[in-house]
Amino acid sequence: MNTPISGNLPRAIGIIGGGQLGRMLIYCSCKLGFQYVVLDPDPFASAKPLANHFIQGSLYDPVSLRKLLEHSDLATYEIEHIDTKTLREAEDAGYQLYPSPRLLETIQDKLVQKEVLSKAGVPMPRFFRFDGTGKDPGNTLLSLTQSNGISYPLVQKSRKGGYDGRGVKVLRSPADPLTDVPSIIEEYIPFQKELAVIVARDREGNTALYPVVEMVFNPDHNICDTVLAPARVPSDVTNEAYRVARLAVEALEGVGVFGVELFLTSEGKVLLNEVAPRPHNSGHYTIEACLTSQFEQHIRAITGLPLGATDLIRPAIMLNLLGESDALGVPFVEGFKEALSIPGVSIHLYGKREVRPFRKMGHVTILGTTTEEVLRKAEQIRGILKVRSVET
């Protein structure tokens, strides 16, 4: 144990995963004086240059995980795909880990996550369990859809391991083949909009919610590439989104910051899609646009500090900077200076050494006085900024 900064606060915070979320966790909260220990398999991980101590190792390797815990006073994670068994043992031995590895296990399995949340009364699309085509001789799926009152189109989601839309498949008709993995099948929601709320919950159970935002997904690759804050929805939808998001995080007894993804149905109902147990892409705008960023808030929540104010300073839009469809190799950002010359534009580059098609390389946040202004500037930025590779 290191000497605490103040009171019983930790000095060194361990972060499992060294991607862009880890990088932003560090640069948004190091002003509070903490030190950071990062574990990642990639020797060029985004967060590595900012860490006080870097451990190279697999997020599934008990030895590497224990090493991270030894070097830090408290730990968190920035990715869901990690070994929970070692972390559970550490938690049982009195180590402080937030959010709890038990909560992470619930979230890692989409079926378990949905079961826990639906039991708590969180509204969501109807779903049922599907164990794989090998275990589906005949028309089990047909009878399952009938007994659950669900019909095509359906959405098949693998229970484990999905991210950025991988592991999610829309089945338009019985002619669309099922994937042979343990999964859930849920009703397809012809949503008006996808919304998200970042919810912070501290160790005493206090919560702080960020503005409801609109997420816009690019149909080519199913990655959310634009986030608009605040969402253009009536106040009853905002209030319902807050109610559903808070209910979900409270049901999980989450400590930290959570990204709650929601659907706004064509009838105006708010349904939960899923919960991410960490800062979320839909909350990157908070770095410039809110009084406390989601990243500082996460560190505040897990270390026992008071939660910060979440007020939106100005309307904002966030654009993900994805690698161009033909980019491969050393990244090159076209239009960098020109984009930065536009007032209210902030560019974040994640320092990745290699660009690939649609890889998240950074993001841009644009603040303005009105939603119309930020939408206009976003169009301008989209025409200017491109992440290509040096070779193309």
Ligand X SMILES: Nc1ncnc2c1ncn2[C@@H]1O[C@H](COP(=O)(O)OP(=O)(O)OP(=O)(O)O)[C@@H](O)[C@H]1O
| Order of strands across the sheet that contains 74-77 | 53-56, 35-40, 12-16, 74-77
Q: Which residue from 9, 112, 144, 155 is in contact with ligand X, where contact means CB under 6 A?
A: 155
254 in Cβ contact with 182 (< 8 Å): no
Residues 333-372 that bind ligand X (CB under 6 A): none
Count interface residues toward ligand X (CB under 6 A). 19
Q: What is the DSSP letter of 125?
A: -
User: Using CB atoms within 10 A of its CB, is residue 133 exposed (0-12), middle (13-18) or buried (19+)?
Assistant: middle
Question: Which residue number, 44 or 163, has a Cβ lying nearer to ligand X?
Answer: 163
Of 107 and 317, the one with the shorter C-beta distance to ligand X is 107
d(CA 124, CA 257): 21
CA 195-201-205 angle, 5° bins: 135
Closer of 43 and 165 to ligand X (Cβ): 165
Q: Are the CB atoms for 2 and 73 separated by under 8 Å?
A: yes
Q: Which does 189 bind (CB under 5 to 8 A by kind): ligand X, Mg ion, none?
A: ligand X
- Asked if 355 contacts 389 with a C-beta cutoff of 8 angstroms, the reply is yes
Site string for ligand X, 113-152 (x = CB under 6 A): ------------x---------------------------
Q: What is the footprint of Mg ion within residues 225-284 (CB under 5 A)? A: 261
Long-range contacts of 62-65 (CB under 8 A, 24+ apart): 62/86, 64/39, 65/16, 65/39, 65/90
The strand ranges marked E within 265-306 are 270-276
Asked if residue 163 binds ligand X (CB under 6 A), the reply is yes
Rounded distance between C-alpha atoms, residue 238 and residue 98, angstroms: 28
Q: Contact between 261 and ligand X (CB under 6 A)?
A: yes
Q: Is 168 in the site for ligand X (CB under 6 A)?
A: yes
Give whichever of 45 and 215 is closer to ligand X, judged by the CB atom: 215
Residue 44 within binding range of ligand X, rule CB under 6 A? no
Q: Which residue is nearest to Mg ion (CB)?
A: 261
164 binds, among Mg ion, ligand X, none (CB under 5 to 8 A by kind): ligand X
Choose from ligand X, Mg ion, none: what does 125 bind? Cβ within 5-8 Å by kind. ligand X
Q: Which residues bind ligand X (CB under 6 A)?
A: 125, 155, 157, 162-168, 186, 188-189, 194, 217, 222, 261, 273-274
Q: Which residues bind Mg ion (CB under 5 A)?
A: 261
